[in-house]
Amino acid sequence: MYRVMGAPAVVWYLLFLAAPLIVLLVVSLGRRSPNGGYQPGLTLEQYGQLGTRWTAFANTVELGLVGTVVCLMVAYPMAYVLATRGGRYKTILLALVVVPFWTSLLIRTYAWVFLLGNSGIPALLRDLGIAEGVRLLNTPFAVVLGIVYNYLPLMILPIFVSLDRIDQGIRQASKDLGAGPARTFLRITLPLSAPGIISGVLLVFVPVLGEYLIPVLLGGGQIYFLGNALADLFFQSRNWPFGAAVATAFIALVMVLIGFYRKAASRLAPGTEQEGML
Amino acid sequence: MMADGSSGSVEIRDATKRFGGVTAVDGVCLTVRPGTFSALLGPSGCGKTTLLRLVAGFESPTRGSILIGGEPMDDVPSYRRPANTVFQHYALFPHMDVERNVGYALRQQRPRIDRSEQRRRIDEALELVQLGGYGKRHARELSGGQQQRVALARALISRPQVLLLDEPLSALDAKLRHAMQLELKQLQQQLGITFVFVTHDQQEAMSMADRVAVMRDGRILQEAPPEHVYDFPADTFVADFVGTMNLFRGRLVTREGDTATVQTPAGTKLVGCALSHDLLSPGQPAALAVRPERIVLSLGAERAAGPSSAVTALRAHVRTRTFLGDQVSYQADSPDVGRVTVLQARTAAGTDGLAAPGDQVTLEWALDVAHVIPDTGKEAAEHGADVGLNPPPKESGR
Ligand SMILES: Nc1ncnc2c1ncn2[C@@H]1O[C@H](COP(=O)(O)OP(=O)(O)OP(=O)(O)O)[C@@H](O)[C@H]1O
Ligand SMILES: [Mg+2]
C-alpha cells in the first residue's frame, strides 16, 4: 500500500531532481562547441576557470547573508509583537503580512525601481533639503532592501509559529522565579523560538542564493548574482559546459553551507531535528 | 528573609479585579498568617485563580491592594515579589533539564550565587521532593507526579516567603493525589513557609488546610478553620459546597439570641442555633442545616432519646439504603420537611437492626447540631430540592 502511494514521489524525484542533476554534471564535464552549446567530453577544464566568476559567488553569498540577517532582525520583532500582543487580531495581522505576496514578484520589485530611482526617494530628500545627490538604485543597499522586502513573510511565519507555541505560563513562571522581562526574553523566549529562527533563516537564505530578478532590477547589472552569471553563460555566451560547472559548484557550496548550518543549529537548539524544523 | 513577625503574611485589602464587564474578584479582604496553610475553595469560575494571580503579581487589582510580609506590592512586579507559584500545568521550561529548571531562580539572583552553592541547593531541593538523582532528566521524560515535584522544588529553592499553588494536584490521578496531599502538608510544616492553595475540591481543602476560604462569584463567603466551616457554615452555599448537608429551606420566623425558628413551605416549624449576624429580619429566606451523621434514625415511632424540648423529632419512611462499608446512608421522606439524608455508623455485621426501604422511622437531632443559616439561593444545589450534596468534582481544563 505504502509502496504504491510512494511511487509518484519516487518518479517525481527521479524525473525532476536526480535526472537534471545528472545531466548538469555530465554537461559540466564536456566542452563548449565552437558555435556555442555542448560538445561531449570528459574533462575538468571548466572547473578550472571557476575563479573567473568569483565576484558573482562572493556577491551572492555576501548579500544573501546580509539580506537574511537584516530580514531576521526586521522579522523577529514583528513576529514577537504579533504573537504576544496580537490578541484576537492575531490571525488577521498575520494574514496582512502575506498580502503583498498576492501581487507578482516582478511588479512588487519593479515598484521599488521607481521608489529608489532618481525621481523617487532621492528627489524627495533633495526637495526637502535633507540630502543632495543620494543614489539608492543600483547599489548593494537596493539589493538588500529588495531581498528583505520580498522574503520577509518567509521569515516572519516560522518565527511567529514558534513564538506563538510558547505557553504564556512558561514566561510567567520565569518572571515569577525572579527573571525580569529582559532576562526572561533571553533565557526563555529566545531559546524556545530558536527552531523558528533556524527554519526562517533557511527558508530565506536558500532561495535568495538563487535570486535573479532582484539583482537585475535593483542592482542594475552592477551587482551580479550567481543567477545572473548563469543566465549570461547559458543565454548570451552559450557556454553550457562552463555554466553547468558553475551551477554544480554552487550547488555543492550550498549543500556544504547547509550542512554546517544544521550542525550549528542543532547545537544551539537541541531537539529541533526531531521536530522536523530543518 | 526578613526576621520580623509579618514575614510570610499575605494581606488582601478590599481587592477587586475586573476583566471588561466580568468582575472576577469582588472586594475581597483576606489575611493569611505567616507559616499557615490556607486553601481558597470554590466552584469553577469563582475567581480563585484570579485572586492568586493578584498575589503573584500577574494581574494588578482594579481596586484595593496586596501586602506580602507587611510590604505593599502595588508597584512590585512579579519578579521582585517574595512569593513563588506552582502552576496548574507545572509550566516547566521545556528546553532545560530538571536541574536547570530547579536552579532557575538561583541563577536570577544578584549578587550571583557561586556554582558550588547552587549545586548544593539544587541537590537539597531535589532531595526535599524525593527526586534525588533525577537532575539530568528532561522534563518531558518525567511522569505527571514527578513534573509536579520539579515544579515544587523550582518554586521553593529560592525560599520564598509565600508559596502559591493553583490546583497543583488536579492533573494527577486519585491515588497519587492523596499521596501528594500528605506530602505537601508535611513539606509545608517542615519548611514553615506560608502556603496558599487553590482548589475546587472540598475534601482536598478540608484535609490539608489550616484555614479554608470559601469563595463564590468573586467574594469570600467564609474564612475559618476547616472544622469550623464544616460545623458552622456561614450560609446555604457554604453548607452545600462543603460535605453533605440536609438543608430545610423556608423563611425565618423568629430570632431570639442564639436560637431561631424557620418555617418550611409545608408549614413545619424547625428550631436551631443561629450564629449569623445576617439573620435578623423575620420573613427572610433561611434554612435549617443538619449534617446527615448528626441525625439519629430509629425504627418505628419510638423516640430514641425520649421526649425533650432540646430535640427535634420527625416521622419519615425510608426510600433507599446505601451500604458504604463502615457506614450506611439512608434517604428518607418526611411529610414535614421532604427528603432527608441520614448517615449511620455500622456497629454490627449484616443488616440486623438496620431500617429497610419502606420502613417507618423516627429521625431525631439535638438542637445544637441544627443551624439556622441565611438561604442564598440554590445555584450550587444541582441535586434534590432539600438535600444538598457536594457537587461532583469538575475537571477544570482551564
Ligand atoms: N484574563 C481574563 N480575561 C477575561 N476574563 C477572565 C480572565 N481571567 C479570568 N476571567 C474571568 O474571571 C472569572 C474568574 O476566573 P478564574 O480563572 O479566577 O476562576 P477560577 O475560580 O480559578 O475557576 P477554575 O476553578 O475553573 O479554575 C471567570 O468568569 C473568568 O471567565
Ligand atoms: Mg482556576
Which class would CATH give B232-383? Answer: mainly beta
What's the CATH number where A162 sits? 1.10.3720.10
Q: Does B94 touch chain A (CB under 8 A)?
A: yes
Query: Could you give the number of structural domains in chain A?
Result: 1
Residues counted in chain A? 278
A106 belongs to a structural domain: yes
Which listed ligand is nearest to B394 at the C-alpha? 1
Q: What is the pLDDT of residues B343-353, one digit of tens each?
A: 999 888 888 78
Q: What angle do CA A160, A166, A171 make, to 5 degrees?
A: 120
Q: What DSSP character marks residue B47?
A: S
What is the third-level CATH fold of B5-229? Rossmann fold (3.40.50)
Nearest CA to ligand 1 atom 31: B45
Query: What is the pLDDT at residue B18?
Result: 96
Contact A192 B108 (CB under 8 A): no
Helices of type H across B202-281:
202-208, 226-231, 236-241
Q: Does residue A22 form part of some domain?
A: no
- pLDDT at position A273 is 44
Are the Cβ atoms of A178 and B108 closer than 8 angstroms? yes
Angle between helices B144-156 and B174-191 (to 10 degrees): 20
Burial of B56 (0-12, 13-18, 19+ CB in 10 A): buried
Spell out the domain ranges in chain B. Answer: 5-229, 232-383
Q: Which residues pair with B374 in a beta bridge?
A: B286
The residue whose CB lies within 8 Å of the most ligand 1 atoms, and thus the one to mutate among B17, B46, B201, B221, is: B46
Q: List the single range of A175-184, B69-78, B336-345, B387-396 with lowest mean pLDDT.
A: B387-396
Task: Give yes or no for residue B380 having a pLDDT over 70.
Answer: no
How close is the Cα of B16 to the center of ligand 1, in Å? 13
Q: For A183, name the nearest residue in chain B, comparing CA atoms only.
A: B108
CA angle A50, A54, A57 (to 5 degrees): 105
Weakly modelled stretches of chain A, pLDDT under 70: 1-2, 269-278
Question: Cell numbers 490539608 label which residue?
Answer: B208
Atom of ligand 1 nearest to the CA of B218: 14
Protein residue whose Cα sits closest to atom 26 of ligand 1: B44
Instruction: Give the ligand whose atoms come closest to the C-alpha of residue A88.
Output: 1
Closest-CA distance, B258 to chain A, in angstroms, reads 48
Angle between helix A194-209 and helix A140-164 axes, rounded to 10 deg: 150
For the segment B182-240, what is each residue's pLDDT rounded down to a tens digit? 999 999 999 999 999 999 999 999 999 999 999 999 999 999 999 999 999 999 999 99
Over residues B141-181, the pLDDT tens digits come to 899 889 999 999 999 999 999 999 999 998 888 888 998 99
Our CA-based measurement puts residue B74 at a distance from the nearest CA of chain A, in whole angstroms, of 16
- The strand ranges marked E within chain A are 31-32, 38-39
Q: Domain of A251?
A: 53-168+196-276
Give the binding-site residues of ligand 1, using a 6 Å CB cut-off.
B 19, 22, 24, 42, 44-50, 200, 396, 398
In a domain, A84, yes or no: yes
The pLDDT, as a whole number, for residue A267 is 79
Q: How does residue B110 score in pLDDT terms, banded at 50, 70 and 90? A: confident
